[in-house]
Amino acid sequence: MRLSVIGCGYLGAVHAAAMASIGHDVVGIDVDERKIETLSKGEAPFFEPGLQEILTEGIESGRLRFTTDMAAASGSKVHFVGVGTPQQKDGYAADLTYVNAAIDGLLPYLSPGDIVAGKSTVPVGTAAELAPRVEATGATLVWNPEFLREGWAVKDTIDPDRLVVGVSSHFARSTTGAEATTGDGEVNPADVLREVYHPAVAKGTPFIVTDLATSELVKVAANAFLATKISFINAMAEIAEVTGADVTQLADALGHDERIGRRFLGAGIGFGGGCLPKDIRAFSARAEELGRGESVAFLREVDAINLRRRDRAVDLVVNAFGGSVFKKNVTVLGAAFKPHSDDIRDSPALDVAVRLHGLGAWVTITDPAALENAQRLHPQLNYVPDRDEAIRGADALILVTEWDEYRRELSPEHASTLATGRVVVDGRNGLDAAAWRAAGWTYYGMGRP
Ligand code: UDX
């Protein structure tokens, strides 16, 4: 099928390449000329496992191309819109400038029967507002939220755990899964999306057809739930800290209850990235607008707990030196908001590093993927790509992104040959505390004795 993908960031670039890899003829469109130039050469503009391979393959096969020219969308059956919805500069709400610009830019190139499939994370109610503009061209608007995790984006796009398609009410009524048309012979857009995602549909991936509002809510509700789960265990870490309990054992014990589950009960310096923080804030803002602020008031606490954990990690380092890190060499292991990513948007890791620098520590940061991005944002810090070089001469280490390079592959004995001091703060509870202590280190975890 001919597809266009408007917006070639984390979501769009992966989506375009993934759709080409399952056999579609895809054009990716973005206003950023540099990004388009990079993608056109088959180069991934950011670190994402597996993306490079499917980009090269798509471009070599001729099924994938990139352009800044919106006219190239003309002739596609489905137009995916995957532009960013960042937090507004002066508030918590989502900034819909890019979504509106993408839809307006696309309108002249739509033909009757085309489908515009929104993928961006938007405040509930956005699709219903956009629909009349799209429908005036004879095209149909659906909402098809994206649940991809950075680091797993290619897998999550080609082989997702569920597919959700929000359609406007008259289609929603007619869709039972078997029906391909509405009563008047009109093709149901959900069935076209089934065709787009044919490999996942064929293997029985749950395919949920719903109304526009529900589809928008699925995405923000999922992220709100995940953020709440992380903050829940981090709140337990705060209690553990004043009672001598161990939050990692607590999480293990809780996780055996299938209704709870162990995943996303990783206590530490909390969540960051381009999605969870801004999505819970945008959700709160939208709920306020709808007069239901109190329904999600807990998300403010979720946010507050999350931010407090960064303070805690900084305090652990400061207290380890008796109250001041002034002129102490602190090596920060990690900069990305999570492993397998070079993304530093709202990265708790980088935030902790910047704060330690602000307190007068000599901060050295290392990270296998995110150093370039970090350096661009915070040029005042010292960046050392080589892990061992970064550790050499350190008075303290702090693990803030749980890359395997630090968590599994760095033995305390080896670290002892490089560092000067013997203080390690485990901001992700990823290290083997007993092993580090046995090697002579003073180990501090998050919510652990
Ligand atoms: C998230 C959602 O998981 C994904 O479904 C959605 O489409 C986009 O937002 P992502 O931002 O890639 O994906 O990261 P995720 O894996 O969810 O991690 C988010 C943050 O939470 C990271 O900073 C991570 O370190 C942190 N985290 C995660 C914890 O602190 N503890 C955990 O147990 C799990």
pLDDT in tens, 180-204: 455 566 789 999 999 999 999 999 9
**Whether the CB of 275 sits within 6 Å of ligand 1:** yes
Q: Verify that 232 and 95 share a domain, yes or no.
A: no
**Whether the CB of 268 sits within 6 Å of ligand 1:** yes
Residue 284 lies inside a defined structural domain of this protein: yes
Residue 7: how many CA atoms within 13 Å on its side-chain side? 24
User: Residue 442 forms beta bridges with which residues?
Assistant: 423
Q: Verify that 97 and 139 share a domain, yes or no.
A: yes
Question: Looking at ligand 1, which atom is closest to the CA of residue 270?
Answer: 30
**Whether the CB of 226 sits within 6 Å of ligand 1:** yes
Residue 216 lies inside a defined structural domain of this protein: no
Number of domains in the chain: 2
Q: Verify that 136 and 9 share a domain, yes or no.
A: yes
Pocket test for ligand 1, best of 216, 234, 308, 338 (most atoms within 8 A of CB): 338
Q: Is 346 exposed, middle or buried (0-12, 13-18, 19+ CB in 10 A)?
A: middle
Q: Cα separations (Å) of 328 from 80, 337, 395? A: 50, 24, 6
Among the candidates 205, 236, 265, a domain finishes at: 205
CA of 306 to the centre of ligand 1 (A): 12
Q: Verify that 233 and 349 share a domain, yes or no.
A: yes
Domain that holds residue 346: 227-449
163-167 and 362-366 as β-strands: parallel, antiparallel, unpaired? unpaired
pLDDT tens profile 412-422 = 999 999 999 99
**Whether the CB of 152 sits within 6 Å of ligand 1:** no
Q: Verify that 257 and 336 share a domain, yes or no.
A: yes
Q: Verify that 279 and 390 share a domain, yes or no.
A: yes
Lowest-confidence pick of 63-77, 125-139, 170-184, 287-301: 170-184
**Whether the CB of 207 sits within 6 Å of ligand 1:** no
Positions marked catalytic: 275
Lowest-confidence pick of 114-118, 156-160, 183-187, 390-394: 183-187
**Whether the CB of 223 sits within 6 Å of ligand 1:** yes
Q: Verify that 157 and 270 share a domain, yes or no.
A: no
Amino acid code (one letter) for 216: E
User: Residue 87 forms beta bridges with which residues?
Assistant: 94
Residue 215 lies inside a defined structural domain of this protein: no
CB atoms inside a 10 Å sphere around CB 406: 25
CA of 275 to the centre of ligand 1 (A): 8
Per-residue pLDDT band at 323 (split at 50, 70, 90): very high
CA of 91 to the centre of ligand 1 (A): 23
Confidence (pTM):
0.95
Is the pLDDT at 170 greater than 80? The verdict is no
Task: Give me the CATH number covering residue 80.
Answer: 3.40.50.720
DSSP 45: S
Q: If you compute the radius of gyration of the chain from its CA atoms, what whole number of angstroms results?
A: 24
Q: Verify that 159 and 282 share a domain, yes or no.
A: no
